[in-house]
Amino acid sequence: MSRLAARACSPGPQYYPNMGTLAPVPRIFGREAEIQALGQALDRVASGGPAIVLVEGEAGIGKTRLLAQVLEDARGRSMQLAAGRAEELERTRPFGLLTATFGCARSSPDPRRAAIAGLLAVSDAGDQGPITVTSDPGLRFRAVDAFTDLAEELALAGPLVIGLDDLQWADPASVLTLGVLSRRIAGLPVGLIGCMRPSPRAAELDRLVGALEAAGARHLAVHPLSGEAVTGLVAQAVAAEPGPRLLAEVSGAAGNPLFVTELLAALAQEGAIATVGGRAEVTETMLPPTLRLTILRRSPPCRRCGPPPSWVPGSRSATSPRSPAAPPSICLWC
Ligand SMILES: Nc1ncnc2c1ncn2[C@@H]1O[C@H](COP(=O)(O)OP(=O)(O)OP(=O)(O)O)[C@@H](O)[C@H]1O
Ligand SMILES: [Mg+2]
């Protein structure tokens, strides 16, 4: 139960003061088709073949949530899992994504993983300076082969699902390796599920998408939630039937579940949601939804990820229309 929901259990008018960011609601709303498509990919892997799915959608739309769900399903089917997420600040770390995904550390009890970690460490310091996978193409391709060999060996032992989040920030060496891997997994029980925002899209990621398509990748576009799904999400977050004014407020989130929950959190932080007789509603002191949205939409484009996908709140913590915060220099996803 979310913290907000927990507060909604007592009878009488129930206000939600001083709320921070809401905990995620336990249920996934409105993603039946996507979950079915990902389940079909797991079916293909279970029956011995490869399945590649590219999950794409704007920030906050629910890609990570879907990936977590499919990985959980794969775990439930006793498949091997390798999951990692590209870090925006580590885009230049060679093989950073795959190192994290396969857990390659020098201390690893698996000699294959420890060997990969050794390969990625500086190998020599001769007259020309240290040789690294960045400076030495030969070494780089040994690392590419080592990662693909590892994935292949794991898959020969049983179905393997590789989940890669935030591919838009993947380092070029991992991107290159994934392209090679996509050609190596034909005939093997490997699920490759990658999530990414539509932008930023580096040229090498574009090439990877092309390689994955050539290997039979399926695209799964994650769209805004339907009105019905948003109502369900709000109802679960506030543990009450949402009233029309509350639904009007969240309609500005345009079906983006992160925006919906952040907006609810902002309203709750203002003490602006009250539950009376089992119905949650915004209080009379609120500004009209249109004015709130106008203020929130005035946020300037983020200096890191560019203009907002569809709607950008002012910041994670200060969306109060009564005391608008100074314009953020980065958006709430950064
Ligand atoms: N269908 C859904 N039902 C309920 N909650 C959801 C749903 N989809 C996403 N959420 C919640 O919305 C928030 C944002 O989702 P998520 O982190 O998956 O977005 P994302 O697409 O991965 O964003 P980003 O591009 O920033 O990584 C999370 O708190 C998540 O739990
Ligand atoms: Mg995500």
Cα→Cα distances 320→13, 21, 238, 261, 313, Å: 22, 14, 19, 15, 10
Domain with 193, as residue range(s), is 32-93+147-221
- Within-domain flag for 245: yes
Pair 41, 29: CB distance under 8 Å: no
Which CATH number does the domain housing residue 186 bear? Answer: 3.40.50.300
Query: Which is it for strands 241-242 and 129-131: parallel, antiparallel or unpaired?
Result: unpaired
Asked if pLDDT for residue 2 goes beyond 70, the answer is no
Q: What is the pLDDT of residues 16-25, one digit of tens each?
A: 433 334 456 6
Binding pocket residue ranges, ligand 1, CB within 6 Å = 24-25, 28-31, 57, 59-65, 166, 197, 233, 257-258, 261, 333
Q: Average the pLDDT over each of 76-90, 213-227, 234-248, 293-307 and give the range with the smallest value.
A: 293-307
Domain count along the chain:
2
Question: Is residue 74 domain-shared with residue 197, that is, in the same domain?
Answer: yes
Q: Whose CA is nearest to atom 18 of ligand 1?
A: 62
- Within-domain flag for 142: no
What's the confidence (pLDDT) of residue 290? Answer: 53
**Ligand 1 pocket mutation pick from 2, 3, 28, 65 by most atoms within 8 angstroms of CB:** 65
Instruction: Indicate the residue type of 298.
Output: R
Instruction: Report CA(114)–ligand 1 centroid distance (Å).
Output: 34
- Within-domain flag for 304: no
pTM of the full predicted structure?
Answer: 0.81
Burial degree of 186 (CB within 10 A; 0-12, 13-18, 19+): exposed
Q: Which has the closest alpha carbon to 168: 333, 24, 23? A: 333
Question: Is residue 245 domain-shared with residue 291, that is, in the same domain?
Answer: yes
What's the confidence (pLDDT) of residue 139? Answer: 86
Question: Is residue 76 domain-shared with residue 215, that is, in the same domain?
Answer: yes
Question: Is residue 215 domain-shared with residue 232, that is, in the same domain?
Answer: no
Instruction: Report CA(163)–ligand 2 centroid distance (Å).
Output: 12
- Within-domain flag for 195: yes
